[in-house]
Each structure stands twice: as structure tokens, then as C-alpha cells.
Amino acid sequence: MRKSPFRLVIRLLAGAAGAFVILLLLAGGFLILLWEPEPPTLSELQHKFPSRQSDLETILRMSDEDAPFWRIAPDFLWREAKGSMVAGEFMAGDPNSGLTKSRWDQYRNIYRRNGIKLGILRNKQHDAFIMLDSIGLLNRGHMTGYLYCSADPSKDADRFEPCTLHQDNGERIFNPDKHEEAYSFQRLNARWFAFDQGPS
């Protein structure tokens, strides 16, 4: 019995539609892999600050006790030279890092509890940027978190902008011609700010 040309067309169209759906699903999956969520906004940081403040203060105290480590991330740290300790970057699990696994785990537990993906960065003035998240790479990205400004920096301090501007909020647009980094901030209390840094 001869097949109807109409049925053949229907089968061809159904096959093409199926292939198209598969292509759409593959493209959608690829885009999901490439998609990066934006880090928290200043208003989101401000909203969650009261519930996070105690843990943020604990991170500060721990960092004061671990003074040679000026960057402590979940998976690496930066250490300055002090006594017999050499300066350098050390990955998690490195026995030469100088920070015990149990101590590092204390940081990681607090980070995890508060959505802190990038850890803490201290400067020589004891200001601290506790970085929740970032997006983008190098001079095209930015990161957000909580900035703590020290009460007693030295006179020649190289500090984060909110710590020197004496403003409750502010922002600067990225200017590559003047090598000016972008930032925005919102004061949370006397020493703490919600802070967005970059691009640079």
C-alpha cells in the first residue's frame, strides 16, 4: 500500500521540530553554564548586615590574631614575612602555610554561613574588606562585601576610599584614562560599610 505524501511531510516536520527542540535545550544548557549571577547589591548587604554583624566581628578578631595573613580566602591565603615565616601565597592543604587546618576551617565555617565566597583582605592600617562575591575578570569585574575601617590608622595610610572620605555614601565611575577605579559604598554604622569595588 502506497504511503500518503501528506504523512511523509508530517513525519519530516516532526523530526525537524524534535531536532530544533534538542538544539534549543543544548543552547540553553550552555548559556546556564556561562551565566554568572551578580554579587549582592549595596542595599542587599545593608539589609543583611544586622544578622551578619556578629560573625563579621568574629572574622575581624580572628584576623587580628592571625596578623601575618593579610588575605585569608576559603581555598588560599597570602602571608607576609614574619620571623622565620616566609612571604607567599599558599593553597589549602599546604603544610607550609602557617595556618592550621582547624583554624582555617573556623574561617570557612563562618564564610559558608554568611555567603562569603572570597574571604577577607586586610591592609597595613587594619582596614578589612570581607568579600562576599564578584563577577567578571581583571579590569572588567567588580566585587561586593563589607568594609571595616580602622579607628587608628597611621598618617600615611594607604586605605580604602570610604575610610578616608568621611561620607555616609558615595561612588566613582571607572575612568581608565585617569586610572581611577570604580567604587560605591553605603555606611552601615560608625566603622562598617557596604562596599562595591571595581572595575579597575
Q: Which residue has the higher pLDDT, 51 or 156?
A: 51
Residue 46 belongs to domain spanning: 42-197
Q: Which residue has the cell 567578571?
A: 136
Query: Could you tell me the pLDDT band of residue 142, with boundaries at 50, 70 and 90?
Result: confident
Quick one: 80 and 13 in the same domain? no
Residue-level pLDDT at 43: 95
Quick one: 26 and 113 in the same domain? no
Instruction: Select the highest-mean-pLDDT range: 121-125, 157-161, 188-192.
Output: 188-192
Residue-level pLDDT at 34: 42
198: left (phi over 0), alpha (psi -120 to 50) or beta: left
Quick one: 159 and 96 in the same domain? yes
How many folded domains does the chain comprise? 2
Exposure of 157 by Cβ count < 10 A (0-12 exposed, 13-18 middle, 19+ buried)?
A: middle
For 178, the 3-state DSSP assignment is coil
Gap between the Cα atoms of 170 and 184, Å rounded: 6
Q: Average pLDDT of 128-137?
A: 89
Quick one: 9 and 86 in the same domain? no
Quick one: 31 and 90 in the same domain? no
Quick one: 4 and 52 in the same domain? no
Quick one: 9 and 80 in the same domain? no
pLDDT in tens, 52-79: 999 999 999 999 999 899 999 999 999 9
Residue-level pLDDT at 126: 87
Quick one: 103 and 154 in the same domain? yes
Quick one: 76 and 10 in the same domain? no
Quick one: 64 and 110 in the same domain? yes
